[in-house]
Structure 1
Amino acid sequence: MRPELWEALRPVYEDRGRLWAQMCRGEFAEPIWTALTRAGAFGAILDEAPAEAPRGLSYAALAMRALGEAGFLALFPALTIAGSACILRHGSPALRAELLPEVAAGARRICFGVTESRAGFNVLEIDTVARADGEEYLLSGEKSYVSGFDVAHEMLVIARTRPLEDVVRAGLPRAAGISLFLVPTGSDGLESEVLPIRGECLVHPHRVAMRNVRVPRDRLVGAPDQGFSALVAGFNIERILIASVMLGAAHHCLAVAVERARGRKVFGDRPIGAYQAIQHPLADVRIRLEAVELLIDRAVRALSEGAPAKEAEFLANSAKYLASDTGLAAVDCAIQALGGLGFDERHGIIQMWDAMRLLKLSPISNELILNRVGEQILSLPRT
């Protein structure tokens, strides 16, 4: 780990037990956010970051991995970094000047309002609409899984500004007619409720209803009716960062399992790590983690060096796919080695099972990744 990352995240490593207890009570663990801010994670990819701040997606990925290695499989920081990347690339100069320095300083957090209960992963068929009203838009609809809405300051929301029927009739791509808005979470007309859903480490998912929420035109991210491409700018970054925090969390679980396997003796003086039923799964996870790390590195380079979109997407999706499978195996190894202690919430391992299992499904399901690889990389018929 880079020295500056260790120094910034050391309070999180040293106070892990108290922070887990805080999160188990449903509280936001502010020290985690503070540590990532000190590490420079939120300013790493932003032009507006201070000149002395470490730069690049590679550094942001290392910071997320370090957080995972501390035992926190927290996804919300990746959302803020990915959201700020959308604004960096597609926001107006005024919006970038207002928002990005505060993101880099850890003072502005971003959540995403994308998924809806009916459309699910098919975000091109969302029901949320935005109607132009002078110099503003009126947003109405409902988002079903908005992680961290209660602690975020801004929400990136996709909405239909042109009906899908009109888009199809005009022979345009189905992604046309979608616009992306940056909406303050304190706006009038927003109502939210916490969803009783497990799997998030640092924050809670919310259902958010929007009833004629007024959003100024200057808070459009990207051109009107072309917001989907602006949103896509953050997808690959989000998947790389989530793969990175999974990689770190898997290393944490492996370390817990190995320590237990070396020291735990049940039958005579032979530690349980001498049994192949324990040893071989641990070795298998270690090999796979090396592959995940290499995939993340390749994905970072592809995105940073401007590789073709298809290649960058393939590598980012592949990293997320392999990280979620390998991470779940690492958690299982830790639980198996710990035995009953693996289900003790004070250790934070059983919570990682929920989170890792969720990440096989989100932010893009592993099945959809396989579909994309089959169609885009292998040129197979559309499923």
Structure 2
Amino acid sequence: MDFSLSDDQVLMVDTARRIGETFGVDYWQEQDRNKAFPKECWQAICEAGLAGAALPEEHGGSGLGMLELALIVEALAAGGGGSTLGQLFMINPIFGGVPITRFGSEQMKRELLPDLINGKINFCMALTEPDAGTNTLAMKTFAESDPNGGWVLNGRKIWITAVDCAQKMLVVARTKKPSENSRPTEGISMFIIDVERDGLGYSPIEKVGTQTLSACSVFFDDVRIGPDELVGTLHNGFRELLDVLNTERIVTTAGLVGAGSLAERLAVQYANDRKVFGGKPISSYQGLQFPLAQSHAELQCARLMNLNAARLCDLGQPYGSQANMAKLIASQAASHAIEHSMQMMGGMGYAREFHVERLWRDARLFKFAPVSEEMILNYIAVHDLGMPKSY
């Protein structure tokens, strides 16, 4: 595998790096403090054409792939945003762009993709439920067929990212009761609906990190869905949903790699300047060097696994195992890198003015989201090792 970059890819990554550094750690500290959506940063990303990198040219994108998208997210995250930067791509090019591009009608593509790419509209995805969690097939939210056309949606979702900033929502719901299906994966469909709609309500959840993007409980009370809002195959949307979830892993991992790299850079800068015990910089002590060096090696392994997953995705080959393994290693490697960076900085690592504490709070989420370490290990055991299913 050759991951050397073309001239166009180098230019694209340099553009992402410049934007990431323009909206650096001070900008993200302010957004975090105010719990404010980073709209200026996202608009700059869209204006540079980066949001549409993997979306079709005929609708305003660049027609590239997940490999380029991973490189973009990584560079932006390392500039200052950290792991939360990956969520901006998760909610828009992934939750909006992937299902519309791959499964949406031509009308849906014409109406929504250009505005997604230029930043005029934001997306979110309503999947997780309070009583189902990771077990998506246990969802209870139900879209009942309306004799007059369309569907009527009822149910509840939880931990839905950036609902309050979104105009469109990808909703995953049952359209047939479990008793009516021959397999658990049947009877699930996807819809793209307006967030501002009668019967749709939401309330924020207070949380430790990722403050620039809210998380909400969402309630559907007789929400009407039009016939043209179905995306993908009625009753058979679960397999199509996996394309959304697996590409979500790729941008999550890229954000984590960028966050770990950013933490390392901040820690090394601090440690090179901090002198104790005879005037030597603390960065010269192996007791501080080795943990960060180990984390750096782990991050590079996660990065290569992620680029390989993205490459396979772009080739149309199976990539679920690679994407999941990359996310598993990246969440651990980023956590180690940020923890070791904080430890290297001592008390100042705990201070908001030195930024690592935000990276620490934000990255912690991704040890169990968008999929937990335990469920990834279950997946590897069953799908890659051929062991019996344990859950």
Report the TM-score when normalising by structure 1: 0.93
CA distance in 1, matches of 2:77, 2:135: 30
1:347–1:50 CA distance, 2 compared to 1 (3 A): farther
> What one-letter code is carried by the residue in structure 2 that aligns with 1:354?
R
Which residue is equivalent to 1:82?
Answer: 94
CA distance in 2, matches of 1:95, 1:241: 24
1:209 to 219, 230, 236: 219
CA distance in 1, matches of 2:12, 2:382: 42
Which residue is equivalent to 1:166?
Answer: 180
**Is 317-326 or 258-267 further displaced after alignment?**
258-267
CA distance in 2, matches of 1:156, 1:51: 21
Secondary structure in structure 2 of the residue aligned to 1:299: helix
1:157–1:52 CA distance, 2 compared to 1 (3 A): closer
CA distance in 2, matches of 1:86, 1:108: 16
> What one-letter code is carried by the residue in structure 2 that aligns with 1:177?
G
Q: Following TM superposition, by how much is the alpha carbon of 1:245 offset from its aligned partner in structure 2, in angstroms?
A: 1.0
Which residue is equivalent to 2:164?
Answer: 150
Q: Following TM superposition, by how much is the alpha carbon of 1:198 offset from its aligned partner in structure 2, in angstroms?
A: 2.3
1:49–1:147 CA distance, 2 compared to 1 (3 A): farther
Query: How is 1:1-383 mapped onto 2 (pairs within 5 angstroms)?
Result: 2-7=10-15, 10-16=18-24, 17-48=26-57, 53=62, 55-72=64-81, 73-74=83-84, 75-83=87-95, 84-133=97-146, 134-167=148-181, 172-307=182-317, 309=318, 312-383=319-390
Contact 1:69 1:251 in 2 (8 A): yes
Contact 1:79 1:111 in 2 (8 A): yes
Q: Following TM superposition, by how much is the alpha carbon of 1:117 offset from its aligned partner in structure 2, in angstroms?
A: 0.9
> What one-letter code is carried by the residue in structure 1 that aligns with 2:180?
D
CA distance in 1, matches of 2:162, 2:365: 16
Secondary structure in structure 1 of the residue aligned to 2:231: coil
1:348–1:190 CA distance, 2 compared to 1 (3 A): farther
Contact 1:258 1:282 in 2 (8 A): no
CA distance in 1, matches of 2:329, 2:276: 34
CA distance in 2, matches of 1:353, 1:165: 44
Q: Following TM superposition, by how much is the alpha carbon of 1:18 offset from its aligned partner in structure 2, in angstroms?
A: 3.4
1:341–1:375 CA distance, 2 compared to 1 (3 A): same
Percent same amino acid among aligned pairs?
31
CA distance in 1, matches of 2:156, 2:369: 19
Contact 2:52 2:61 in 1 (8 A): no
1:54–1:2 CA distance, 2 compared to 1 (3 A): farther
CA distance in 1, matches of 2:69, 2:262: 19
> What one-letter code is carried by the residue in structure 1 that aligns with 2:99?
C
> What one-letter code is carried by the residue in structure 2 that aligns with 1:20?
Q
Superposed CA RMSD in Å reads 1.8
Secondary structure in structure 2 of the residue aligned to 1:226: coil
Contact 1:221 1:230 in 2 (8 A): no
Q: Following TM superposition, by how much is the alpha carbon of 1:377 offset from its aligned partner in structure 2, in angstroms?
A: 0.7
Contact 1:36 1:63 in 2 (8 A): no
CA distance in 2, matches of 1:265, 1:258: 13
Q: What CA deviation, in whole Å up to 9, does each residue of 1:277-312 have, x standing for no partner? A: 2110011112112211211111111111111x3xx1
Q: Following TM superposition, by how much is the alpha carbon of 1:380 offset from its aligned partner in structure 2, in angstroms?
A: 0.6
Contact 1:8 1:35 in 2 (8 A): no
Q: What CA deviation, in whole Å up to 9, does each residue of 1:234-256 have, x standing for no partner? A: 11111011101111111111111
> What one-letter code is carried by the residue in structure 1 that aligns with 2:149?
E
Gaps of 5+ in 2: 1-8
